[in-house]
Amino acid sequence: MSTLTPRGPVWVAVRQHRPALWTALLLTVLSVGCVVAARVWVGSAGAMVNCGKECAYGTTASGWFRWAENYIGGAAVLLPLVVVAFTAGPLIARELESGMYRLAWTQSVSPARWLTVRLAGAAAIATAGAVLLAATFRWSRSYSQDDEFLSMARSWSDREVYPALGVTVVGYVLLAVAVGALAAVLLRRTLLAMAAGLAATGGVSLFFAWVRPYLWPVVKAEGGAEVDPFTASPDPWIVREGVVLADGSRMTYEQCWDMGFSKSPCDPGATTAVARFYEYHPESHFWPLQLVETGIVLVLAAACVFAAFKVLGRRHG
């Protein structure tokens, strides 16, 4: 029993942040419970009710199911922001700002060990939460993705869906812990560290949402009306599409809309286009894209952790 009881700086950290830990556990259990209950309910009540010829309406159960799935997907996507705010503020910067760290450091706890305990604890709890939310979201999607009414036709590539479907969310929560620690030891002010951590983590997330389609080579297709990405993959992520002109140049549909679609080569009646082209990711590219992005994010996290220990060592070594 004694071996399972936290001791030393671990015990102190747990005691200090018990309210936050209990709150996180409660919210996680409620989130998962809502999805499970909604899944069971819609499974027994059905998603649609027929009310006559060409008449149907959604059941109350299907409405709750869609809300629960959207909620847990959004929770997984926003989890890194919660983690970085807590790590940068209450977990590290507040102790540096108030001077509470001196008590621990005068009791045979080195600055490096003090920071290690906080990073390891935050990383373990955040990772467990991210894995649980992502697993629940994948379980929910496995039921709803084939039903456009339940899934609201959301693709696996949607920004509010993609991070929560795989391991990317784990990479981002670990990055959040690392960024929060670095911001805290650099700024040593609770609110300032939280703001900086939120800005950095949010900025990285937005950057990867923009470059994500280019992290893995796209499939290219060119030809006539028979060329259709939806034939090769049931849910392709189309990165670029448009027409090929007689001189071999390409014009995307976005460019056609900018110049006036009816006056552009994209118009079906135009004679200047000789073929259509598509650049897309089939569903089989999901895991390569996830693993590449997660690997890059973990490298950034490792760099932030290294920098945090270096800064702490120079100031308090």
Tell me the C-alpha distance between 205 and 203, whole Å: 5
DSSP code per residue over 153-180: T--TTSTTTGGGGSSHHHHHHHHHHHHH
CA neighbours closer than 13 Å in the CB half-sphere of residue 268: 1
Please identify every stretch of the chain with a pLDDT value under 70, giving residue numbers as ranges: 1-18, 45-57, 100-109, 153, 316-317
DSSP code per residue over 291-315: HHHHHHHHHHHHHHHHHHHHHHHHH
What is the pLDDT, as a whole number, of residue 299? 97
Question: Pairing state of beta strands 55-58 and 237-245?
Answer: unpaired
The pTM for the full model equals 0.87
| Secondary structure, 3-state, 48-83 | EEEEECCEEEECHHHHHHHHHHHHHHHHHHHHHHHH
What is the pLDDT, as a whole number, of residue 298? 97
Distance (Å) of CA 33 to CA 27, 46, 62, 151: 10, 19, 16, 19
Tell me the C-alpha distance between 221 and 229, whole Å: 8
Tell me the C-alpha distance between 208 and 215, whole Å: 9
Q: Report DSSP state, residue 97.
A: H
Q: Are 280 and 228 in contact (CB under 8 A)?
A: no
What is the pLDDT, as a whole number, of residue 1? 44
What is the pLDDT, as a whole number, of residue 8? 55
The closest alpha carbon to 301, from 190, 180, 160, 143, belongs to 180
In three-state secondary structure terms, 221 is strand
What is the pLDDT, as a whole number, of residue 49? 64
Segment 82-96, tens digit of pLDDT: 999 988 888 888 888
277, β-bridge pairs = 222, 242
What is the pLDDT, as a whole number, of residue 302? 96
Q: Are 311 and 185 in contact (CB under 8 A)?
A: yes
What is the pLDDT, as a whole number, of residue 231? 80
